[in-house]
């Protein structure tokens, strides 16, 4: 039985940190088994990398993507192992959409973990390290950000665009490093409260990712996709899809299209969602979701105590 008013959401890049999930790994066999499965699929010890590697290595997108997908799937499996019920709807932020589709049964886990490593490689090689950047813009009207970036890109010196609509007043821009720097200065001058570079290694969700999208389409042609058992709201258009071929198309489009996270959360609220569980490391999405709709109750699963508290809270809310 699904939890009728509950959504599970899955984080994207930026939630990774050395040492994450240590307590969950010690506590839950499902977490340990999931990391073992991922390590076998990729041919290296992922758990050792997370616990003992360097943060700089973890931040490289070809590493970050399989690590975060594995972390989210591990916590989902731990949730089920502990008797948790499935939600009424799912969504994931960028990479997290792949995590959501694995947990909804649309993608096989081993296929997905290999696929997102390729996705990361394609995204990284589309723009050499150092030539692309992303920055979070806080406290400025969304349309003003779109317009200022379009003006800078229109000068022909480099691409920059609004690419993640994370919550009202929080938008991420991306593009060529020089143009992002120019945009940061212009957006501060226009009244942004904060404009800060993000610890990512490529300008995701811009037209600069089109070559990565073409390569991802080729890789995805080899992957089986099923209709999801739980509706998954997609970043590109804030709707759920059942047709596997349409899901395949959207996952390719997503790589070079803006992430409409505000719209995704609003779509979940329109479905009657009041409880949102962040299934992955950190609480980035919980913070965004509260800014999008203050009526939402947020829960997390990263720590065993939090997972048990969420089980109890949702049993009471059902």
**pLDDT tens-digit profile of 227-255?**
999 999 999 999 999 999 999 999 999 99
Look up the pTM and report it.
Answer: 0.94
pLDDT band at residue 88 using 50, 70 and 90 as cut-offs = very high
Residue owning tokens 């997370």 = 50
Q: Where do the structural domains in the chain lie, given as residue ranges?
A: 3-126+208-317, 132-200
pLDDT at residue 27, as a whole number:
97
pLDDT band at residue 122 using 50, 70 and 90 as cut-offs = very high
For 187, residues 6+ apart whose C-beta sits below 8 A from its C-beta are: 137, 140, 145, 148, 173, 195
Catalytic residue among 15, 39, 72, 94: 94
| Greater pLDDT, 60 or 151 | 151
Is 25 labeled as catalytic in the residue annotation? Answer: no
Q: Which CATH superfamily is domain 3-126+208-317 in?
A: Malonyl-Coenzyme A Acyl Carrier Protein, domain 2 (3.40.366.10)
pLDDT at residue 1, as a whole number:
59
Quick check: 224 pLDDT over 80?
A: yes
* Distance separating alpha carbons of residues 223 and 219, to the nearest angstrom: 7
pLDDT band at residue 199 using 50, 70 and 90 as cut-offs = confident
pLDDT band at residue 128 using 50, 70 and 90 as cut-offs = confident
Is 205 labeled as catalytic in the residue annotation? Answer: yes
Quick check: 15 pLDDT over 90?
A: no
Q: What is the DSSP string of 179-205?
A: HHHHHHHHHHHTT-SEEEE-S-SS-TT
Quick check: 300 pLDDT over 60?
A: yes
Q: Per CATH, is 132-200 categorized as 3.30.70.250?
A: yes
What number is the average pLDDT over the span 188-193? 97
Quick check: 93 pLDDT over 90?
A: yes
Catalytic residue among 25, 93, 176, 205: 205
């Amino acid at each position: 039985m699904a939890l009728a008013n509950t959504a599970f959401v899955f984080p994207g890049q930026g939630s990774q940190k050395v040492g994450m999930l240590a307590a969950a790994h010690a506590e839950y066999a499902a977490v340990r088994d999931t990391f073992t499965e991922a390590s076998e699929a990729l041919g290296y010890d992922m758990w050792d990398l997370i616990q003992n590697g360097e943060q700089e290595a973890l931040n490289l997108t070809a590493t970050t993507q399989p690590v975060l997908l594995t972390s989210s799937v591990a916590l989902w499996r731990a949730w089920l192992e502990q008797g948790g019920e499935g939600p009424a709807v799912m969504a994931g932020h960028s990479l997290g959409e792949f995590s959501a589709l694995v947990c909804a049964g649309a993608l096989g886990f081993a296929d997905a973990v290999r696929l997102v490593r390729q996705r990361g490689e394609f995204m990284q090689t589309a723009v050499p390290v150092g030539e692309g950047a992303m920055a979070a813009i806080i406290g400025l009207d969304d349309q003003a950000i779109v317009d200022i970036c379009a003006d800078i890109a229109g000068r022909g010196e480099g691409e920059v665009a609004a690419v993640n609509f994370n919550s009202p007043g929080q938008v991420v821009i991306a593009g060529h490093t020089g143009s992002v720097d120019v945009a940061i200065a212009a957006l501060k001058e226009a009244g942004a409260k904060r404009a800060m570079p993000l610890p990512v290694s490529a300008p995701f969700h811009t037209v600069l990712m089109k070559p990565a999208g073409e390569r991802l389409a080729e890789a995805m042609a080899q992957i089986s996709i099923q209709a999801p058992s739980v509706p998954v709201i997609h970043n590109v258009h804030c709707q759920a899809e059942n047709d596997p071929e349409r899901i395949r198309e959207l996952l390719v489009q997503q790589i070079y299209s803006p992430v409409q996270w505000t719209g995704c959360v609003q779509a979940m609220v329109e479905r009657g969602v009041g409880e949102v569980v962040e299934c992955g490391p950190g609480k980035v999405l919980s913070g965004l979701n509260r800014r999008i709709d203050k009526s939402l109750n947020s829960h997390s699963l990263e720590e065993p105590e939090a997972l048990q508290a969420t089980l109890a809270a949702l049993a009471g809310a059902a």
